[in-house]
A and B are shown apart, each in its own frame.
Chain A
């Protein structure tokens, strides 16, 4: 922290220059004071009493005032004050209650001049009158303040605060007769030096002790006080009642406060506990220190501005046994490190942005790069007064809302809602999801679903769909329009070539029938959409149905798989299957890494939406009933990983669920689990609880499926007899009534059941919601004020 900056201040005849510097003391300091011409500083403490000269580069010890063989308690100083008019005169406040004056002009080694032992306890503070040479004031722990005439042996007057211990006394800079005293009980008193009988005025300044006070050097009526309540308050004393005009919140109790010379709004503070730093505050901005000096390693006990007209140098002594001279230029400015902006992305793409107003208004006051803006030399900016700039700040808060038509999270929510993950034959799920993706303007995803269908569907299955599936079939014109017979694997390469030549032609060819068919199918599709839109999850009976569906689907799979293993009519490819001995049990099979597959995989990886259409036409020749599904597994695996790496975990998980066992073995469990947890987290964040629950239920990862079981126990009371239901089912075995009767419609509730935790009455969610709109009492008439939280 040794910075070498240097300031020279011309102050009339003399000039002050120096740098940030320090010296080690032999003992902790309690107080410091500086002589009038700012060339020497006195340091006093329990075991130290020395004078240092302030040289340009360093402190030089001038004089040790502790003399004599036996240590005297008179040397143990709580406070020290250098007379501002008489340069040889010092006063100290001793911890034994003595007030001692010292004359540096004395020829002997012992410079002690006067000794007043009138206080009974520690003297906390001594203060010379700013203009009267021989007047000294003291304030003590015993609750008295005494005024001494240094020409006399005893005090001339004693002021009794009638309060607790006196912590600080300060002569007013402007009013000859006035001084302020601060007390441990939180009071501040104003006294007239001529009237020792009672104070002029008293007010409570702080809760808890007031440790210090300081008169403003220029403003007649301003008094700053600091207390254990961590506050610095500035009082206007010119009015009848002391008026608090500023209040600064610090982070620790305030031990000392000193107005900064030549800066109307600034004052320096230090703390007696916890905090070792010295802060300079602008009282108009009471929350952030204007500057901080962080050099001390222990509590700072004394601070003093080096010269009463120079704001650039601050001296400080500390319990860490160092004496510092701080250059204001070297101070750290907390506000420069303080972040002037806040920014947060909301869930739906809204942005909350808070920024310092001056930044937003975009004036030239913005900070250039440290080290200089490259475009403008720094001196081109006319710098506004930094003090003024500091004092007046505020932040503007605004929220940028993405407008309704471009809510860019919508696709995610819609996709999550509309995707079908189970409950229908595989091909239909794929078709449906492809359509959803297409409608949300995500052609690549849509194409992927179509491809999946092509890859994994069994053509035999397609020829025997139920009547309502015929339309669906049509959405895949590719499957029918090309016969599967002639395409051997060797044709893949050709096909690819063909694509590169006549891409556009093929696109048209395949796109048109596809589009028209999709249009013609709209009606039917809407129907199915309606049914899946309410993918609500029910408790109780409804669940069974779902399970049934699910298991039925499994049977379907089994059927499909079996058919795959059956030899089919296109002979040329039989060869291929034979190549793969493990083909029949394709579930256990590892990646069948054929060159064709890897070539194809490269295609998938570099898909762009436009190309993807042509890709179908490529994969289409690949399609053949004789290529077993696992042939595609590596490709699909790569594709899923690709989607996941792109951040579309939704696609990865959806495909994973829809393909189920077809792909599950291809991807290691940890990755699957990772995808699941990520997607579920996303869904829950979007409050898509039903979808997230469905995903949890359909997942095949044991770590995920158990999510719904962990720490979920339902304890049910019978709503009739209020006793716990012991058996399963909805008939209470004690009162033999059906326990789950809706309190509104009196029917047995199947599906979503809500109940009040207080009176255990409830019913259909909708009914209860309607009821609560009109009444807050229980619909069962039990008189309970129901609370649903």
Chain B
């Protein structure tokens, strides 16, 4: 069973994103009111706002945590065409803020000419890398060459997707057989361009990202997408929030021994497609074992999806945001 715990967020406008940190103890929210709030879980389970600061001069679309190996680091992106990297530090002994934790801006990434719609850190094994995508369809990959210096980021790659980009997701696989892969979703609403999800793969040979695949069957605006945690699988699972929830399985085809300069061929299978939200689906999120997928839509509900051993996906629970009784059998969550 789930217990709904309501939190007085006190943001002055819409909250666009919530994000747990790596260990699930901290949470960050961002809002159109241009601020980011950090919440820490107290011992009795209450979420307490420990920081609240103005981050941008426009709506903050997304906030995301870096791997804790790099410190307590957040990245945010905004309508004001910038992305920013923030670090929590403990005040120096000499400082007035001795012993107090506070967040300081480490860098502002100003390369975009339009609203920056998503920001994501690359998987840890790739080093300290940050990716942004913007409404003009450019995906930018930055790298901090020195992980101790968060104020220096160099723009490593610029991928032009042609379509207004709304969301990105890194393939989390740490396998050396899987080259770095990134999926980009577009919220372009015109029907002229079909295939609103593009998948790019790093080509060792050319040291560039090249398009590996376009999911042509996704023709409606995509609001969110998420690779499932890989956990040693040889294939990848990608969830997409568009006018429905879709789950794709991407199976890399065996590549020949000679490292070719073309991206891996992917075999694409649709595992599931659900229109139960009966409206736009805004968010999808995987649990860490990738056994459960959560989706939320314009119907104000969160739905949980789970596959049985035959890869049949079923809705196992519907949660309503206002805490009205939720139906959910707990054995399916095991």
In the complex where A398-B323, A400-B2 touch, is A645 in contact with B234 (Cβ < 8 A)?
yes
Across the interface, which residues of A come within 8 angstroms of B15, CB to CB?
A: 342, 354-355, 395, 397
By the criterion CB–CB under 8 Å, are A356 and B14 in contact? yes
By the criterion CB–CB under 8 Å, are A339 and B18 in contact? no
By the criterion CB–CB under 8 Å, are B17 and A339 in contact? yes
Interchain residue pairs with CB less than 8 A apart (15):
A251-B80, A338-B16, A341-B297, A342-B15, A347-B24, A360-B321, A362-B299, A366-B300, A369-B243, A398-B6, A401-B2, A406-B1, A406-B333, A670-B176, A678-B173
By the criterion CB–CB under 8 Å, are B18 and A340 in contact? no
By the criterion CB–CB under 8 Å, are B32 and A288 in contact? yes
The answer to the question of A344 belonging to the interface, with a C-beta cut-off of 8 Å to chain B, is: yes
Shortest distance between the CB of B129 and any CB in chain A (Å): 16
Q: How far is the CA of A367 from the CA of B223 in the complex (A)?
A: 15
Shortest distance between the CB of A494 and any CB in chain B (Å): 28
Most buried by A among B27, B320, B321: B321
By the criterion CB–CB under 8 Å, are A337 and B174 in contact? no
Binding site for A on B (CB under 8 A): 1-9, 11-20, 22-24, 27, 29-34, 45, 47, 57-59, 61, 79-81, 90, 124-125, 166, 173-177, 187, 189, 220, 223-224, 229-235, 243, 278-280, 282-292, 294-300, 302, 309, 319-323, 326, 330, 333-334
Among A339, A368, A649, A789, the residue within 8 A (CB) of B16 is A339
Contact with B along A341-375 (1 / 0, CB 8 A): 11111111111111110011110001111100101
Q: How far is the CA of A406 from the CA of B328 in the complex (A)?
A: 11
The answer to the question of A396 belonging to the interface, with a C-beta cut-off of 8 Å to chain B, is: yes
By the criterion CB–CB under 8 Å, are B14 and A340 in contact? yes
The B contact surface, by secondary structure, is loop
Q: How far is the CA of A288 from the CA of B175 in the complex (A)?
A: 42
By the criterion CB–CB under 8 Å, are A287 and B20 in contact? no
In the complex where A348-B24, A678-B174 touch, is A647 in contact with B291 (Cβ < 8 A)?
yes
Q: Which residues 308-345 of A sit at the B interface, judged by CB distance below 8 A? A: 334, 337-345
By the criterion CB–CB under 8 Å, are B14 and A351 in contact? no
Across the interface, which residues of B come within 8 angstroms of A403, CB to CB?
A: 1-3, 330
Most buried by A among B12, B13, B230: B13
Residue of B nearest to A275 (CB): B81
In the complex where A341-B283, A353-B319 touch, is A347 in contact with B175 (Cβ < 8 A)?
no
By the criterion CB–CB under 8 Å, are A402 and B282 in contact? no
The answer to the question of A675 belonging to the interface, with a C-beta cut-off of 8 Å to chain B, is: yes
Binding site for B on A (CB under 8 A): 230, 249-251, 274, 285, 287-288, 334, 337-356, 359-362, 366-370, 373, 375, 393-403, 405-406, 408-409, 411-412, 441, 608, 641, 644-649, 652-653, 670-671, 673-675, 677-679, 681-682, 685-687, 789
Question: Number of residue pairs across A and B with beta carbons under 8 Å?
Answer: 277
By the criterion CB–CB under 8 Å, are A408 and B18 in contact? no
Q: How far is the CA of A402 from the CA of B334 in the complex (A)?
A: 11
By the criterion CB–CB under 8 Å, are B289 and A343 in contact? no
Shortest distance between the CB of B34 and any CB in chain A (Å): 6
By the criterion CB–CB under 8 Å, are A343 and B291 in contact? no
By the criterion CB–CB under 8 Å, are A399 and B59 in contact? no
Q: How far is the CA of A736 from the CA of B214 in the complex (A)?
A: 70
Residue of B nearest to A411 (CB): B334
Across the interface, which residues of B come within 8 angstroms of A373, CB to CB?
A: 278-279
Shortest distance between the CB of A245 and any CB in chain B (Å): 16
Shortest distance between the CB of B183 and any CB in chain A (Å): 17
Across the interface, which residues of A come within 8 angstroms of B47, CB to CB?
A: 399
Shortest distance between the CB of A358 and any CB in chain B (Å): 8
Complex A-B, nearest 6 residue pairs according to Cβ-Cβ distance, in ascending order: A347-B24, A674-B175, A360-B321, A649-B232, A343-B283, A395-B15
- A-B contacts besides A287-B34, A337-B166, A644-B231, 13 pairs, CB < 8 Å: A288-B79, A338-B32, A343-B285, A344-B27, A345-B285, A345-B288, A345-B292, A347-B23, A398-B323, A399-B7, A671-B177, A675-B232, A679-B231
By the criterion CB–CB under 8 Å, are B29 and A397 in contact? yes
Among B7, B124, B174, B296, the residue within 8 A (CB) of A355 is B296
By the criterion CB–CB under 8 Å, are A397 and B7 in contact? yes
By the criterion CB–CB under 8 Å, are A398 and B321 in contact? yes
In the complex where A251-B57, A398-B6 touch, is A645 in contact with B233 (Cβ < 8 A)?
yes
Residue of B nearest to A367 (CB): B298
Q: How far is the CA of A77 from the CA of B16 in the complex (A)?
A: 44
Q: How far is the CA of A408 from the CA of B285 in the complex (A)?
A: 16
Q: How far is the CA of A586 from the CA of B175 in the complex (A)?
A: 28
Shortest distance between the CB of A170 and any CB in chain B (Å): 26
Among B18, B59, B224, B320, the residue within 8 A (CB) of A354 is B18
Across the interface, which residues of A come within 8 angstroms of B187, CB to CB?
A: 337
By the criterion CB–CB under 8 Å, are A682 and B279 in contact? no
The A contact surface, by secondary structure, is mixed
Across the interface, which residues of A come within 8 angstroms of B177, CB to CB?
A: 670-671, 674
Shortest distance between the CB of B326 and any CB in chain A (Å): 8
Shortest distance between the CB of B45 and any CB in chain A (Å): 7
In the complex where A338-B32, A401-B3 touch, is A343 in contact with B294 (Cβ < 8 A)?
yes
Shortest distance between the CB of A288 and any CB in chain B (Å): 5
Across the interface, which residues of A come within 8 angstroms of B224, CB to CB?
A: 339
By the criterion CB–CB under 8 Å, are A353 and B279 in contact? no
Q: How far is the CA of A486 from the CA of B308 in the complex (A)?
A: 39
Residue of B nearest to A676 (CB): B232
Shortest distance between the CB of B70 and any CB in chain A (Å): 14
In the complex where A350-B24, A402-B333, A647-B231 touch, is A397 in contact with B57 (Cβ < 8 A)?
no
Among B7, B18, B174, B230, the residue within 8 A (CB) of A342 is B18
Q: How far is the CA of A501 from the CA of B12 in the complex (A)?
A: 68
In the complex where A351-B294, A360-B321, A406-B1 touch, is A343 in contact with B6 (Cβ < 8 A)?
no
Across the interface, which residues of B come within 8 angstroms of A673, CB to CB?
A: 175-176
Shortest distance between the CB of B259 and any CB in chain A (Å): 14
By the criterion CB–CB under 8 Å, are A339 and B282 in contact? yes
In the complex where A337-B187, A353-B302, A408-B334 touch, is A685 in contact with B23 (Cβ < 8 A)?
yes
Across the interface, which residues of B come within 8 angstroms of A644, CB to CB?
A: 231-234
By the criterion CB–CB under 8 Å, are A687 and B18 in contact? no
Across the interface, which residues of B come within 8 angstroms of A687, CB to CB?
A: 23
Shortest distance between the CB of B224 and any CB in chain A (Å): 8
By the criterion CB–CB under 8 Å, are A288 and B288 in contact? no
Across the interface, which residues of A come within 8 angstroms of B326, CB to CB?
A: 400
Across the interface, which residues of B come within 8 angstroms of A397, CB to CB?
A: 6-9, 11, 15, 18, 29
By the criterion CB–CB under 8 Å, are A353 and B32 in contact? no
Across the interface, which residues of B come within 8 angstroms of A366, CB to CB?
A: 279, 298-300
Among B1, B11, B286, the residue within 8 A (CB) of A395 is B11
Q: How far is the CA of A685 from the CA of B229 in the complex (A)?
A: 12
Across the interface, which residues of A come within 8 angstroms of B320, CB to CB?
A: 360, 362
Shortest distance between the CB of A335 and any CB in chain B (Å): 8
Residue of A nearest to B323 (CB): A398
Shortest distance between the CB of B217 and any CB in chain A (Å): 17
Shortest distance between the CB of A154 and any CB in chain B (Å): 45
By the criterion CB–CB under 8 Å, are A354 and B9 in contact? yes
Shortest distance between the CB of B282 and any CB in chain A (Å): 4
By the criterion CB–CB under 8 Å, are A412 and B289 in contact? yes
Q: How far is the CA of A652 from the CA of B9 in the complex (A)?
A: 42
Residue of B nearest to A360 (CB): B321
Residue of A nearest to B7 (CB): A397
Shortest distance between the CB of B19 and any CB in chain A (Å): 5
Q: How far is the CA of A339 from the CA of B79 in the complex (A)?
A: 12
Residue of A nearest to B24 (CB): A347
Across the interface, which residues of B come within 8 angstroms of A355, CB to CB?
A: 15, 296, 300, 321
Shortest distance between the CB of B150 and any CB in chain A (Å): 18
By the criterion CB–CB under 8 Å, are A342 and B3 in contact? no
By the criterion CB–CB under 8 Å, are A441 and B279 in contact? no
Across the interface, which residues of B come within 8 angstroms of A288, CB to CB?
A: 13-14, 32, 59, 79
